Amino acid sequence: MVVINALFPEDKSHIHALCIGSGRFLRSVLVPALIAAGNDNDNGGYLNPVILQTRGRTFMDYCHARQSQTSNNSNSSNSNTSGSDFLNYEVDTVQHDGQVSTDIISCSGAGSLGTVDSKMAVLKDLLPHLKILRLIGVGVTEAGMAHCHTKAMKDLYELLDTLRHLYLYSNFSWKCDNPNGKISIVNMDNVPQNGSLLHTFMLELANESSNSNNGDNEEMKDFLTNKLVFHNTMVDRITSQRPGSNGLVPRAEPTPLKALVIEDLEGDLPRGLIDDIDIHIHSSSSNTSKNKTKTGVVVRRKAGQLDADIALKLRVANGTHTGIAHVMALCGLLMTDALNVGQSLSQSQSVGSNDDDDDYVNNSAASTSSLLMNYLDSLFQHQILKAVEGNNTGDLGDTTTEDVQAVYDDWRGRLMHAHFGLSTFFITQNCAAKGGIRLGPTIVDLLKCGEDVKCSTIFALAAILRFLTPATTAVPGSGSGNGGIYRGWLDKTKRSISDAEKGSDESSADTGTTEYADGLSYNLQQGWYEFRCVCNIQHVGREEPQQLPVVLGSFPTTMQPCDYEDVVRGYLLKSDGGNLSSLASDPSTKEKLDVVVRSVATIYARMVAGDGMLELLKELPLRSSCEILVDGSGSNFNTKTHIDDYRPLYYCDKSVPSSSLLMKANLGNDRDRIRSIVFAEVQSAHAIDLHTHLLPPSHGALCLWGIDELLTYHYLVAEYFMTAPPTITPEGFYAKSKQDQADLIWQALFIDRSPISEACRGVITTLIALGLRQQVGDRDLGNIRKFYSNYRDAGASGAEEYSKLVYQKAGVRYAVMTNIPFDPMESQHWRPTPKEYSSNFRSALRVDPLLAGDQKTIERALKVAGYNTTMEDARQYIRDWCDTMHPEYMMASTPHDFVLPEDKGSVGVGLGKEGKLGVNQEAMKQPFAFTDLTAANSCTEDCSGGEDGLASIIDEQSDFLSEVLMTVCEERDLPVALKIGAHRAVNPAMQQAGDGVVAFADSNMLARLCTRFPKVRFLATFLSRNNQHEACVLATKFRNLHIYGCWWFCNNPSIIEEITKMRVEMLGTAFTAQHSDSRVLDQLIYKWAHSRAVIANVLTKEYVKLIESGWSITRGELRRDIERLFGTSYEEFMQKSLV
């Protein structure tokens, strides 16, 4: 058998271009453009090319076979003369309607550099016979351009050196008639600055030349610089291969507008190619020839234009391609044409099956494609386009947003081609570096210009890392022995893949294994794929860098987001990884980068845990800032080592939903991890504030909010009077306006002194949470008031909007109010028609007069409401208020001297013993008696609805407790909440600020209540620190008792810590850790932020102790416990009916 080493025509004078390599880009883009180029006097053949394969001879054999079949006729689509159609090959183009057209592309010869004989045929039989050489195309793989010592680069150098020698020492056997006399080198690889890189490689090889004649070495460098021009280019035509063609027939999308962009700053390109491009760009006339309008070649003559083209392609087309490829590959969606399933389905349904199963599959596929395209659209619209608007990297030149939108619109149309797509696995190659090259510039620009990185970008980065994670921990130690090849597992398949499941190379063809790139395969049936990664990162605890997959695969089990932060950071900072190191070194973006790192860690952790990729996409708010994905506070601490209770733990939404498989992961015994997760869970726990003195905005002036209310809160008033000058008396202070009072306190406690007390720090915490850091730093009370004015000026709607903001900032699901029917200032908002209010507020019926036996107050309340003065009417009065308010519970604050007689009778005994009560029934019948008296005695300047004006002396012989309050509680199955131990009016002149605490309240009273009324549930909290231990003991004895919160003087971090620790040790999770007791709406923010930090610190230590004792716990179990402490224990207690 005769071996043919080359297919060259006898007359080689018409050959004017050489193409090194036979890649699909070169054959589907460059060669058609060369064939279509203009020519001298329209005689044809101006850039007739020869194609030289770099490895093997498959293309030459393919052309030879076609030549043999068509030797007696011409099927070429061109009619060039002088032998330009000596050989031809096919290129398939898939049209948008699904039709495939096949172009026959001519070339003037084919050869190979793959063997010694075929290479000699090129060097000896082709090059010496060239007359005019205008262009050399280079179309090798990315691997061929990896460095100057690849075979492809050495072959190119040898070819160029031969041309140099022929030019200098063979009487100018060839010449170049290009405008500047230089041969144009056009690279078809998409490596950035590919022409400059190619030139550098050639110069490096020239310097390394083993030729002993230094003159030759210098001659070669001079030749490379002065007789050749290495154009930088950009190639953009999606090209695969015809099925079954073994890669020999390119299968491509319709030629896009910019299939090949060539930079030609000095006008060096061949004239014919330039003329063709000019026609293509500027002419829209109908007589423009077909082969001149379909080449898609564009020339850039100004510096920076090509860079902008490349940047746009990388950001828009390649960026979205990278953003989608990994999720599709992991989900087993093999081709990008799956992105337009809806269109292809609609076109096929007219002849399709009506089978229900087919409909289900079709609808599911269409839903998936819609989901993926929505993700890509969001990634472009809210990230890529936003980054262009604030372009700080300068790589886009004067590109406008309209230019970018046009590029995306064109790209989206190409991507949505229903009948043509690329292999998603093929796109994932070199994905570690592509993350930085294609997504990195967008992230840098976003953070540099102050824009948020959104969840869509985070998902794309996390998907890359998920793709690069090996299936087992037994990964190659360094990757050096396996070429950096690893095996991953597909979405929703078993992660650990045994050797038996992998199959052998010999049986791979029988087990569904498909090769998608050199040495890389996938098997959907067995749930695995192979990938190559040589990106090395420096990992914490390791002296030497390790390959990224080795680090990712080193985690023994599913871990929590905090465990992955270091490896995510390592990847994002590497130049051949995320390439974001510039953000880490810039103080203005360092913390923002930390948020990106932690957000990626969260989504990556969920992906590794087994949360489905598509389910994640459905769940994620793609347009939202990635801060919502940070597992813990992104603004309050940056890493797990900074988690402590010194700083407020502001509420943030859960970054990991309870449905995530991450919740089932065992937390192990790492203390840093436990601390991180406890703080994250406490921070994201939605609290139920089961006792406050808040009232809704619909209650007008009774709803207290704003900076002046914060500053005049009675805690701060009391603190102010400790250091107030003698000239300021309580009477004089309260005579001033609210703003003047606030000014005095601001000056005394925030300007003249550091606001270090808990109450003062709370004001600062609140203002910072509201975004007033600058005003606080400037000590600018005036501008702080302006912030609130924006809401106040909007009236009722402004108050409602502000209320929603506070609840969101505080992380409070709802707060229970204290509603007092005996107070006419409040009752007017309930009757005759209750005011509507947000579900953030729930009512509680304040019944202190019933508990205290305050006959006068009760008499007047009954009379003004039109009731008789019998005990049944008293009960009906409470029933009717329950129907009006729908309270969570009855509420009473017992005074310091409250005593419950031990010899009282049972509920329901002695009804109607009015004489024993000493009730003046006649007086009770007088209309408005209660209103007149209470209005006369009420503080009209302070309508806070507080308890300070209520009775503090208990009639121990009163039957109101047993025969009214407890009877109704049993009837309605309503609990009673008690606050025990306040000492009212220690200093009456200071009004609310004058109350104190009794050292030891009578806790036996609570025990007697629980004993006497076993069908009534009691919620209780004590004011004195001294009662807390006894309260815990009581809670273990009575199932109808629930302990809650740290009230008033106990609501300080040091005491909260002590009480919470004791309660956990004694009660487990059968209590409610905190209530705010807020009177001012704003206080919800700081009271919960401060309490969360302390509670998290306590719980961390308690869970560490539990785990060190041998117990294992999952994140889901931890969340369940914490949610109980923040409200669900209360709700469980409220649902526990004892009637």
Name the band, by pLDDT with cuts 50, 70 and 90, for residue 931: very low
What would the 3-class secondary structure string for 927-969 be? CCHHHHHHHHHCCCCCCCCCCCCCCCCCCCCCCHHHHHHHHHH
Name the band, by pLDDT with cuts 50, 70 and 90, for residue 400: confident
Percent of the chain clearing pLDDT 90 (strictly above): 64
Name the band, by pLDDT with cuts 50, 70 and 90, for residue 473: low
**With 60 as the cut, is the pLDDT of residue 966 above it?**
yes
Question: What does the pLDDT read at residue 605?
Answer: 97
Angle at the Cα of 276 from the Cα atoms of 271 and 279, rounded to 5 degrees: 125
- Rounded CA-CA distance 144/189 in Å is 10
344 versus 447: the higher-pLDDT residue is 447
Q: What is the mean pLDDT of the segment spanning 831-842?
A: 93
pLDDT of 476-521, one tens digit each?
443 444 678 999 999 999 887 544 444 444 444 457 899 998 889 9
930 versus 649: the higher-pLDDT residue is 649
- Rounded CA-CA distance 444/449 in Å is 9
Helix-then-strand count for the chain, H and E? 48, 28
pLDDT of 64-117, one tens digit each?
998 887 665 544 443 333 445 679 999 999 998 899 999 999 999 999 999 999
Q: What is the mean pLDDT of the segment spanning 263-287?
A: 62
Place of tokens 């030349």: 209
Q: What is the mean pLDDT of the segment spanning 426-440?
A: 93
Q: What is the mean pLDDT of the segment spanning 451-475?
A: 90
**With 50 as the cut, is the pLDDT of residue 925 above it?**
no
32 versus 922: the higher-pLDDT residue is 32
Max mean pLDDT among 321-330, 516-525, 539-548, 903-912 falls in 321-330
Name the band, by pLDDT with cuts 50, 70 and 90, for residue 573: very high
Question: What does the pLDDT read at residue 345?
Answer: 38
pLDDT of 790-833, one tens digit each?
999 999 999 999 999 999 999 999 999 999 877 888 889 998 89
Tell me which residue of 405, 192, 231, 186 sits closest to 314, measured CA to CA: 192
pLDDT of 534-561, one tens digit each?
899 987 767 788 999 999 999 877 899 9
Question: What does the pLDDT read at residue 2?
Answer: 55
pLDDT of 1058-1073, one tens digit each?
999 999 999 999 999 9
Question: What does the pLDDT read at residue 365?
Answer: 81
Name the band, by pLDDT with cuts 50, 70 and 90, for residue 950: very low
**With 80 as the cut, is the pLDDT of residue 187 above it?**
yes
Name the band, by pLDDT with cuts 50, 70 and 90, for residue 945: very low
**With 70 as the cut, is the pLDDT of residue 920 above it?**
no
Question: What does the pLDDT read at residue 211?
Answer: 52
Name the band, by pLDDT with cuts 50, 70 and 90, for residue 955: very low
Give residue 305's Cα distance to chain centre.
34
Angle at the Cα of 280 from the Cα atoms of 278 and 281, rounded to 5 degrees: 65
pLDDT of 1108-1139, one tens digit each?
999 999 999 999 999 999 999 999 999 998 88
**With 90 as the cut, is the pLDDT of residue 607 above it?**
yes
Name the band, by pLDDT with cuts 50, 70 and 90, for residue 921: very low
Question: What does the pLDDT read at residue 915?
Answer: 36
Q: What is the mean pLDDT of the segment spanning 862-889?
A: 91
Q: What is the dihedral of CA 627, 628, 629, 630, to 10 degrees?
A: 60
Contact 1003, 1030 (CB under 8 A): yes
Give the range among 128-137, 268-277, 594-603 with minimum mean pLDDT: 268-277
What would the 3-class secondary structure string for 243-267 be? CCCCCCCEEECCCCCCCEEEECCCC
Question: What does the pLDDT read at residue 350?
Answer: 35
Q: Give pTM, 2 decimals.
A: 0.83
Give the range among 258-262, 276-280, 886-890 with minimum mean pLDDT: 276-280
**With 80 as the cut, is the pLDDT of residue 435 above it?**
yes
Instruction: Tokens for 760, please give them.
Output: 């003062």
Name the helix (H) or strand (E) containing 298. strand 297-300
Question: What does the pLDDT read at residue 935?
Answer: 34
Q: What is the mean pLDDT of the segment spanning 589-601?
A: 96
**With 80 as the cut, is the pLDDT of residue 149 above it?**
yes
Orientation angle between helical segments 1053-1067 and 1028-1035, nearest 10 degrees: 30
Instruction: Tokens for 1069, please give them.
Output: 């999770």
